[in-house]
Every structure is written in structure tokens, then in C-alpha cells.
Amino acid sequence: MAGTADDATSWRPQQQLGGHYRVLESMQNSSTLQLFRLLDTSRDEPVLALRPRPKLLQREGAVEWFDYLARQMVGVPEHQNVLPCRRLEHDGGITFLVMPDVKGSDCARAIADEELTQLENLLYVARGAAAGLAWLHGHGWVHYNVKPANILLGRKGAVKLFKYGLTGARTRAYASPEQMMSQETLSPATDIWSWAATVLEMFTGGITWPLGVVAPDALARYREEGPTRIDIPPMPHELADLLDECFYKAVDARPDAAQVVRRLEDISPAGG
């Protein structure tokens, strides 16, 4: 976090929070939110904490925005592919969400560290993320910002979506056309586009496109030219066909998350 404008008001390692939390490490620092690993000293166990970045809190209405969404997120029913939000806590006037620790990292780091290089693992993560979306969509939620950094990978094979439901959130490299047009009402189909861009990045080993709206062009180049990394297996044709459909510009033409999961279940790791 060194060098950011709000370092002075951010949490620091070993800092005590309230009565029974101690900061262990910073895990993510996005433009709006920060993810930390804390020690819950009352239970002697690590937990994850999601809080607004201090700079965000300077914006009018930001405190109310996060507090409202955080309270909604606590009510999301649990699913094996969605990181549950256990409870709300406060550090001074800052609300933060406490979540169980998956004892791992995120998909973005796994890609950067070249840890996702087996087809079975790639398909496993893709299925897990899609299953999490199907659950959220089935309960009336849109994720809004599906990307590798928002998929946690646990040491025991856990695949967990988090940072879901944050209206207005987007990352340009994964954003759907309707998100880039700043449409006020977004459907679950926007998550399907972002999921496809995420899976494409897993097979390319990194972002090779500047905006999510041109991710279909990157997929077309991949299908024509083949993998750019010899350590990552080729994408199965059935999966490439599925991503093509997820990139349909017509929102209603994209498969829904449940359909994506079923299609993925029919793709064998032995295929190519």
C-alpha cells in the first residue's frame, strides 16, 4: 500500500482493531475497496475483512453506499462457491465485512504466478465461478465485477466469488458492452460476459485486450493462432464455443449461468 494517498488512515500490520481483531496483512487494494487478513483473537483464527478504501469515504454518500450493501451481503444464502459475509464490524466510523479465510490467494495472483497450468484446474475454477454466479443470480443478485481478482482460491480446492453486489463497480478489461455504456439497470447477463473474459485470461495467461468489449476479438485471435504460452494447455473447442456465445452483444442471447455450468460439466479435461 506504500505510496497511496490514504496510507495514513489505512490499516497497518499488527494494528489492533476494536477489541478482538489484529491486522495480519493487506491482500488487495483496489480503487474502492481493501481486503485484509485479520486475526480474530477471540477465536484465535484468521478471517478476511473487506472495507472501503479511506479515499473512497471522502466521496459524498460513500459511507451509506457501503453500509447498505454490506448489510445486504450478510443476508446472501451460503453456497460452496460464494464467500459468505458472516457479520458487520466497525472500526471507528468505518463499517467492514468479516468473512471466513479461505487460506489461499485469488485467481489473478494464481495466473500471474503461473499456478493455473493444468486443464483440469482451469476447468475446475471456471465451473466454480459459474456455479457461484448461478447461485447469486438465482437469489436476485448481480455480481457486477467478475474478474480473476474477485475469485478466491483456497488451499483445499475452494473457489469462492466475493465482492459481489457492489452496484456501480466495474473493471474495464472485463466489462460488458452494456456496462461500458453505463446503463443504469444491468442484468445477470453482464456477469456472463465478464466471466467469459475471466476464463479467456486464464487460458492466455494474462490480459491481451484493453477493454472487455474487444475480448471477443482476443478470443477470435486465440482460436486462429492458438495458445501463446506453451505451459498452458489449449482451450477445448467446446469451451471456446461457449465463450463465443457468452460474448454475444445481444444480452438475451447469452446463456445464463446455470446453462454455462451444465455446458462445462460436459467438457472433459481429457479433451482439447
Q: Is residue 244 assigned to a domain?
A: yes
Q: Is residue 270 assigned to a domain?
A: no
Count of domains observed in the chain: 2
Confidence band for 272, pLDDT divided at 50, 70 and 90: very low
Q: Is residue 250 assigned to a domain?
A: yes
Is the pLDDT at 2 greater than 70? The verdict is no
Which of 46, 81, 100 represents a domain boundary (last residue)? 100
The reply to whether 86 and 221 lie within a common domain is no
The reply to whether 144 and 56 lie within a common domain is no
The reply to whether 131 and 55 lie within a common domain is no
Measured between alpha carbons, how far is 120 from 265 in angstroms, rounded to an integer? 12
Confidence band for 257, pLDDT divided at 50, 70 and 90: very high
The reply to whether 121 and 250 lie within a common domain is yes
- Report phi then psi at 229, rounded to 5: -120, 125
The reply to whether 93 and 190 lie within a common domain is no
Identify whether the C-beta of residue 104 lies closer than 8 Å to the C-beta of residue 155: yes
In this structure, what CATH number is given to the domain that contains residue 29? 3.30.200.20
The reply to whether 119 and 248 lie within a common domain is yes
Identify whether the C-beta of residue 35 lies closer than 8 Å to the C-beta of residue 28: yes
- Domain hosting 81: range is 7-100
The reply to whether 71 and 184 lie within a common domain is no
Which of 56, 74, 100 represents a domain boundary (last residue)? 100
The reply to whether 154 and 245 lie within a common domain is yes
Q: Is residue 271 assigned to a domain?
A: no
The reply to whether 65 and 171 lie within a common domain is no
Is the pLDDT at 184 greater than 80? The verdict is no
Q: What string of DSSP letters covers 38-79? A: EEETTTTEEEEEEEE-TTGGGSTTHHHHHHHHHHHHHTSPPB
The reply to whether 71 and 176 lie within a common domain is no
pLDDT at 1: 37
Is the pLDDT at 186 greater than 90? The verdict is yes
Helix (H, G, I), strand (E, B) or coil at 119: helix
Lookup: cell for 189: 447477463
**What pLDDT, in 10s, does the model give residues 61-119?**
888 888 888 888 998 999 999 999 999 998 887 889 999 999 999 999 999 999 999 99
**What pLDDT, in 10s, does the model give residues 222-246?**
999 989 889 999 999 999 999 999 9
Go through the chain and tell me how many residues it has: 272
Q: Is residue 24 assigned to a domain?
A: yes
Which of 100, 115, 146 represents a domain boundary (last residue)? 100
* Residue whose C-alpha is closest to residue 261's, from 164, 107, 124, 78: 124
Measured between alpha carbons, how far is 106 from 111 in angstroms, rounded to an integer? 9
Q: Is residue 1 assigned to a domain?
A: no
In this structure, what CATH number is given to the domain that contains residue 130? 1.10.510.10
The reply to whether 18 and 67 lie within a common domain is yes
